[in-house]
Structure 1
Amino acid sequence: MSEDPPSTRAGERRADGAAPGALPPAGRRSRQRARKPSRAGRNLPAAIGVGVALLAIVLVGLFFMPSAFVVLVAAFAVLGTREVSRALTVKQIHVPLPPLYAGAAAMPFAAFYGGPEALSFALVASALAVLVFVCLETAKDAARNAMSGVFILAWVPLFISFALLLLDEPNGAFKVATMLLLVVANDTFGYLVGVLFGKHPMAPKISPKKSWEGFAGSVGGAVVVGVLCSVLILHLQWWFGLVLAIATVAASTAGDLAESMVKRELGIKDMSNLLPGHGGIMDRLDSITFAAPVGYLLAVLLAPGAG
């Protein structure tokens, strides 16, 4: 998750269409006082509460109701797809929604019940459906709309479905939980160290608040969590946790910067305002979408059959 403040900056819009300056100055001041933002500009109580609630729901489904967990991932995929599709309309990019929603809902189920082959088939079928819908709807900007639709399918439902492929591995639920804890550690330690010591921006044109000091904090915190989870939960060698932690931080940071780059290009701050203190679903999934494929590949390559 980005260290940028979720409040809308001058000249930017939220993807839900809210324009800056909609409230009078007095109303804005009272609203800002009520939110009590932290040094980094977040509404920390809301952010922490929503984050803990989401993590608890995900872990309960993961360990006690796997089928419900699949439904939850599919719901996240559909909501994330919806947010990105709506955000693209800022640049007059209109993707066909029926095949996108159908593909986003189908891919997690294909991954869980059919494995990598079924997931690949679902992606190809969804992409072909997008192309057909674009051709039938209009010829104006058809290529741009079709490519944007395929981009959304790959970015959101495909990447997040790798978590369900990982779930099918030996000791899969604990591996997924470890991956999620590493993403949380990346966000938490990166945020804390970045707020306290951040002075050198990583990518000032994309995410001005993300610093190299925060990145170092993410690596340090994730390594501790990864090694402990590898030894105590996964019953693997400590070095697997080390490699997984570093790779997850790198992937999570890339996912965060990738979403920030898209939002900068679109001129928006948040994908939506669905989650108080966080923004939209994609403002929470940005790290996970990139971390899930990396976690799956490392589990398959470095810990096959381990459990």
Structure 2
Amino acid sequence: MSTTGGDPPLTRRQIRLIQEGAQRSMVTPPPPKPTGRAGRNLPAAIAVGLGLLAVLLASLFVREEAFVVLALAATSGALWEFARAVGTRGISVPLLPLWVGNAGILVSAYSAGPAAMLVAFFLTAGGVLVWRVLDGGGLDAVRDAGTGLLGSAYVSFLAGFAVLLLTHDNGPWLVLTLVLCAVANDTGGYIAGVLLGRHPMAPSISPKKSWEGAAGSFLLAAGVGVALATLALDAPWWLGLVLGAAAVVTATVGDLAESLLKRDLGLKDMGTLLPGHGGILDRIDSLLMTAPASYLLLTTFVG
């Protein structure tokens, strides 16, 4: 031991540990996965999006009934995600009657029209309430049944308007117009938001959504709407502008509404089934809100 004062000399083991730590600090960490400024895995999102578009086109133009099956699968998955998400707050949504009612709403829309779809929705609401009360009464039953009714209205009933479009003349093109205008809104908003976004639209709900992104959404959605209206639907060009504007408003409301729900539940995504997109409900939230507006416009001014 040193007798001259100061710190004692380091042992060989301490020197070795210091050297190993210095070597580890010099190792270059692996590069992060490419997610882009929007926080998504962009290559995976593009691949999944193109795959979904291919499935949609096949279901619309090979056999129309396949689109009803596709819509049924998507909405059933979205309802499962919804029930799972609200379950994090102790809310027990009766999923089985929701699935049965979902099938009834979509099949009724395709086979019997709007009135039958509305009746199926009310029957679903009654079935969810009865199921939950029989499973155990009390105030929790009312809360759980009310949340289930919200899920049915938000997912199944709104999706029924897309199925209603399919029953009209030129139905596949009407549905494709609805979908592509909503997708153009998301794509235009993403590109413009990443490149030019400076002014947040709703920072307390969705910090990455900007007014510059909204302008990009309108430009691309209006362009897609005009192209489809004139080339595929034999409709006036101005209808494409109206469709694009309606898609921007309704799709943005749908996106913000789901973002508000996720923020309240403390979730980043509603699910993980679609890489780069999150869950099914994360992908179709804008479509659900756009469907009623597009149905009203297209059935009024086309044909």
1:115 aligns to what?
Answer: 113
Aligned partner (choices 73, 95, 113) of residue 93 of structure 2:
95
CA drift at 1:146: 1.1
**How many pairs align?**
274
1:63 aligns to what?
Answer: 61
Distance 1:160 1:59 in 2: 17
Q: SS at the partner of 1:268? A: coil
CA drift at 1:248: 1.1
Distance 1:299 1:178 in 2: 9
Distance 1:211 1:217 in 2: 10
Distance 1:247 1:287 in 2: 11
2:70 aligns to what?
Answer: 72
Distance 1:274 1:167 in 2: 26
* Deviation by residue 1:262-297 (Cα, 9 ceiling, x = unmatched): 000100010111111010000101010011111101
Q: SS at the partner of 1:91? A: coil
Distance 2:102 2:79 in 1: 7
Q: SS at the partner of 1:259? A: helix
Q: Do the aligned residues in 2 keep the contact of 1:74 with 1:106 (CA within 8 Å)?
A: no
1:256 aligns to what?
Answer: 255
2:19 aligns to what?
Answer: none
Q: Do the aligned residues in 2 keep the contact of 1:274 with 1:280 (CA within 8 Å)?
A: yes
1:245 aligns to what?
Answer: 244
| Structure 1 moving runs of 4+ over 2 Å | 300-303
Aligned partner (choices 60, 79, 82) of residue 81 of structure 1:
79
CA drift at 1:136: 0.6
1:159 aligns to what?
Answer: 158
Q: SS at the partner of 2:113? A: helix
Q: Do the aligned residues in 1 keep the contact of 2:235 with 2:301 (CA within 8 Å)?
A: no
* Deviation by residue 1:73-129 (Cα, 9 ceiling, x = unmatched): 001111000000100011111111110111122221111111111111110111100
- Give yes or no for the alignment of 1:229 onto 2:228: yes
* Deviation by residue 1:122-152 (Cα, 9 ceiling, x = unmatched): 1011110001011111124121111101000
Q: Do the aligned residues in 2 keep the contact of 1:111 with 1:119 (CA within 8 Å)?
A: yes
Distance 1:171 1:238 in 2: 18
Distance 2:156 2:104 in 1: 9
What amino acid maps onto 1:290 in structure 2? M
Distance 1:251 1:173 in 2: 21
2:44 aligns to what?
Answer: 46
2:175 aligns to what?
Answer: 176
Q: Do the aligned residues in 2 keep the contact of 1:75 with 1:105 (CA within 8 Å)?
A: no
Q: SS at the partner of 2:88? A: helix
1:15 aligns to what?
Answer: none
2:204 aligns to what?
Answer: 205
Distance 1:61 1:207 in 2: 33
CA drift at 1:59: 1.1
Q: Structure 1 length normalisation: TM-score?
A: 0.87
Q: Do the aligned residues in 2 keep the contact of 1:247 with 1:294 (CA within 8 Å)?
A: yes
**Unpaired runs of 5+ in structure 1?**
1-28
What amino acid maps onto 2:155 in structure 1? V
CA drift at 1:236: 0.6
1:276 aligns to what?
Answer: 275
Distance 1:265 1:298 in 2: 33
* Deviation by residue 1:130-189 (Cα, 9 ceiling, x = unmatched): 010111111241211111010000000111111010111221111111111111111111
Percent identity between the two aligned chains: 49
Q: Structure 2 length normalisation: TM-score?
A: 0.88
* Deviation by residue 1:190-239 (Cα, 9 ceiling, x = unmatched): 10000011011111111000000000100011111111111111111111
Q: Do the aligned residues in 2 keep the contact of 1:77 with 1:105 (CA within 8 Å)?
A: no
Q: SS at the partner of 1:209? A: strand
Q: Do the aligned residues in 2 keep the contact of 1:84 with 1:271 (CA within 8 Å)?
A: yes
Distance 2:188 2:281 in 1: 20
Distance 1:55 1:221 in 2: 17
**Unpaired runs of 5+ in structure 2?**
1-28
2:128 aligns to what?
Answer: 130
CA drift at 1:302: 2.7
